[in-house]
Structure 1
Amino acid sequence: MPEASVSAGYAKALLDLASAKGADPTLLAERCDLQLQQLEDPDTRVPFRVFKALMQTAKALCNDPAFGLHFGEQSHFADISIVGLICQSAQTMGEAFDQLNRYAKLAIDIDATVGGNRFELKRIGDDLWLEDQRRAPNDFPELTESTFARFICETARHFGSAPFARCVHFTHAEPDYRADYDRIMQVPISFGCDKNAICIHESWLAIRTNNENKYVFGIFCERADALLARLRPTETMTGRVQSLLVPLLHTEHVGMDLIAAKLGLSRISLYRQLKREGTSFGMILDDLRHELALQYLGGKQTSVNEVAYLVGFSDPAAFSRAFKRWTGVSPSLSIKDDQH
């Protein structure tokens, strides 16, 4: 299993904050077995164990027990990860949340979530909770601190007084620096809970971002998909084809000849290898469009026409016909059914 890791951009942002707070960056890197040259390319990977050591050593060198909170408060997600740029280019915060889950591993790649996505929206009674589902969170509470502080502070930075958090629950015990929590979160906080979660105003999901741009969104997603493919290289030909198709879907340039060329194969050779795996190029393309369409529509923040574009249909009517073939219902009816 590949070692858990974070992006170098993420680790560099932590090191830069520690330096600004008075820590010697060279000493900090040495103590954590980190070569500063590793941070030159923001998309390269740093072992998660090194990132954890950076956080905990920075707390000591800066004499700042609330360093995790301050890291989330002061770092801008779009400056430290391509995932932040994608979220910023989405149309709404609901779509940004979907993209955060889709590309979360590019920022922090840990195989420690309780099934599915790291972040989930869960309705409990009348309340909607945004829950961080990673396992053993109390082994590294600073990560929870920085994550939730960033959710709260990024929303305030971009949308001012727009409602987001109603209250916040943490699984770890209340620390001595409770006052920092109150200042940053500005909502009721509970410790020693059964989940790490923010109870949110549902209206937050519908807030339109300040930087929505389909063209930029497509470019960033193409780059992110390429990085994901590199992060988790696939072993089957089906997986390799899927990895190449995802960043190209919205461009409609998804012919078998192009994919074969990218793989260094002839069309007939690709056909034969896929046949040995019990599939075909057309089946892979169709299944991928189906899967992504359900994902986008399931987020309930993306219109049918927008989903059609994202999965490679220039004609929304053609997308509707394909969706009905996949599911038996139209995409608009699927959205209505999910809302009941």
Structure 2
Amino acid sequence: MRALGKSRRTSRTVTVGLCAAAFAAALTAAAPAQAHGTGGTAHWELKASGTDVRFRGLSAVSRDTAWVAGSKGTVLRTTDGGANWRDVSPPGAAALEFRDIEAFDARRAVALTIGEGEDSRVFRTDDGGVTWTESFRNTDPKAFYDCLTFFDRRHGLAMSDPVDGRFRILATSDGGRSWKVLPGAGMPAAQEGEAGFAASGQCLVSAGPRDVWLATGGAARARVLHSADRGLTWKAADTPIPAGDPARGVFALAFRDRAHGLAVGGDYRADQASPRSAAVSGDGGRTWKPAGSPPAAYRSGVAWLPHSRTSALAVGPTGTDLTSDGGRTWRTVDTGSYDTVDCTPDLGCWAAGEKGRVARLER
């Protein structure tokens, strides 16, 4: 029976892998003019969210289940592929700005609001958003939390812009029910003006049980900081993505394993160009190379396609780009506005952004 079970798992893995390859090929065949059409190409299909708020927080659980979080204290959840959305916003949070959410399943999720001082908070639900518990409220007026990530269902981190010259890291070991500030001794000194961007919930990302990366901008150099011990010690690496201005830098990261990573960003101002808006790493973020043909504009979110070693999506206010060579070159496949993107192992890819826009990738 053990051998049969292994055979079944192997068969399923191969089948999923072939489906993923076909999925990537269908997306590659898409063109901007076809992006919301059919005709056999993969495309974003908008799902009516019933609201006009901006969603920068997104956590895809599966093709059927996803959570989005955004402005005016709004959190929505779907369990039927986006056909219906339930407003599960925490009571009394209408004045807060959600910028990140991490869901473990259809019932359990942790969400982050951003802002100076007490505007930075963490909420957790265990019943699909029927009730929420505020598990952290920042009391340091110098802190401003941007993103959070989880290694597993218990261990996670949140990051704040520098406090007293160093990025601040908050840790949980009980699934977000309680949090503590980690010692700052292992964090490199921040550059003058350096910060994270709370644009897509992807300025802090993890891969595996211990590795985590932090994206920065706003200073002379756009950097990626890496920790291999769940945030206790960090090493910084420069990226080729331009910075030198509060509106420029690395906005989002995606690692498909502890070695292979993508970085996207640029200048979020609509009237400013964003050359060299993407970079790639093959050594865990120790070094970064510029994309040979990057997205043509600023991108705020990025995600690897499921079960693919070479294909990924990057999204931003002016469109979606696809790479099929591991981040070396990108081409635009959609012109709709999205801020964040997330994919799941069952070939579910979701995107969300301004004016209540939520979409699922369809074929």
What TM bracket, shorter-length normalisation? under 0.3
TM-score norm. by structure 2 comes to 0.21
Q: Give 1 or 2: higher strand fraction.
A: 2
TM-score norm. by structure 1 comes to 0.22
Q: Give 1 or 2: higher helix fraction.
A: 1
Greater Rg, structure 1 or structure 2?
A: 1
